[in-house]
Amino acid sequence: MDSGEAWPPQQLNLTAVPQFPLVCAGDDLAQLLLSRLPAPDAAAGAGLAAGAGLGDGAGLRDGDVLVFAQKIVSKAEGRWVRLADVAVSQRAQALAAQVGKDPRLVQLILSESRRIVRAARDVLIVEHRLGFVLANAGIDQSNVAPAGEGECALLLPLDPDASAERLRAALAERSGCRLGVIIADSFGRPWRVGTVGVAIGVAGWAAVTDLRGQPDLFGRTLRATVVGHADEIAAAASLLMGQAAEGRPVVRVRGLAAPQAMSDSRALLRAPGQDLFR
């Protein structure tokens, strides 16, 4: 093997934070996370071999990106709505009949959305007030514990970029590390089967990386090379989070190259005028 290339080669390490508890409204997610990242000394004291636990001894390091599942951010922010408390409009009632969903849920979806992109039996795809195009305005009833009596639904965070920034600032202050924070959700897609992780909030990192204008391997200029960087990070983290009972809502990503420029999740939103699929 010759040595013309940087060595060791680029590596990426993803670790699901162990033992994350069920999250309640008002919980301090930064604190919950830090209490589950063993400090090097604590790990040694507990008899953990180097490399056990979170893999590298130190809990956090400059350049780490923490990916939080949207659900726990919404839960910590108390974004519950009791379905019994929802006043259903005539419009929601009619739409619910069309798509075959609970009218109270449809009302919540409409309240969270700018407009309907597609409606059909079992399908309600909207443009969320935050600009995301997604099914059911991101409102989910699975893995949502009833908050008090009655059935509840959980809305997306009010402002996921702001949530990510608060988490980043709290983690940076308490750890002394320069970190990125991504809030991830799973979205369905046109044309392809299955959900994939996407970034709905980004702080301290780049939502997109833009390689336009850089030369390719043969000196030709690259064309369409804006990369959905934070979405790829969210998709990678999603491989560890699982969807069901695993309960792994935070993943630490270590080894990413520092981004060229910071951007929040709005950089990932195509302007409606530049989109042929609305």
Q: Please report, as residue ranges, which positions from 145 to 184 form the binding site for a second copy (by CB under 8 A).
A: 145-146
The C-alpha atoms of residue 127 and residue 114 are separated, in whole angstroms, by: 6
Whichever of 127 and 166 has its CB closer to a second copy, that residue is 127
Question: Quick one: 78 or 272, whose CB is closer to a second copy?
Answer: 272
User: How many other β-carbons are positioned within 10 Å of the β-carbon of residue 152?
Assistant: 17
Rounded-to-integer distance, Cα 180 and Cα 175, Å: 13
Region of 24-32, 83-91, 92-100, 185-193 interacting with a second copy (CB under 8 A) = 185-193
Of positions 47, 148, 176, 190, contacts a second copy by CB under 8 A = 190
Closest by CA position to 231, among listed 252, 250, 209? 209
Give the whole-angstrom CA distance, residue 236 versus residue 251: 9
Q: Does 26 bind a second copy (CB under 8 A)?
A: no
The least distance separating a second copy from the CB of residue 66, rounded to whole angstroms, comes to 14
Among 61, 82, 114, 118, binds a second copy (CB under 8 A): 118
For a second copy, the closer CB: 26 or 194: 194
- The yes or no reply on residue 7 touching a second copy (CB under 8 A) is yes
Tokens of 31: 């604190």
Let me know how long the chain is: 278
Q: Look at the alpha carbons of 162, 163, 166, 167 in this order and tell me if their dihedral is positive or negative.
A: negative
Out of 27, 36, 89, 147, which residue is the one contacting a second copy (CB under 8 A)? 36
Give the binding range for a second copy (CB under 8 A) out of 90-98, 102-110, 168-176, 244-252. Answer: 244-252
25 belongs to the binding site for a second copy (CB under 8 A): no
The verdict on 188 binding a second copy (CB under 8 A) reads yes
* Strand 152-154 to 80-82 pairing: antiparallel
Query: In this chain, which of 175, 233, 259, 264 binds a second copy, going by CB under 8 A?
Result: 233
Residue closer to a second copy by CB (options 76, 235) is 235
Smaller CB separation from a second copy, 53 or 166: 53
Residue from 23, 29, 53, 112 binding a second copy (CB under 8 A): 53
* 270 forms part of the interface with a second copy (CB under 8 A): yes
8 Å CB contact between 181 and 64: no
Neighbours of 92 (CB within 10 A): 22
CB 70 within 8 A of CB 156: yes
Residue 272 preceded by cis peptide, ω within 30: no
SS3 113: strand
Q: Cα–Cα distance between 232 and 111 in angstroms, integer?
A: 29
> Does residue 121 interact with a second copy by CB under 8 A?
no
Asked if 12 is part of the footprint of a second copy (rule: CB under 8 A), the reply reads: yes
Number of residues that bind a second copy (CB under 8 A): 90
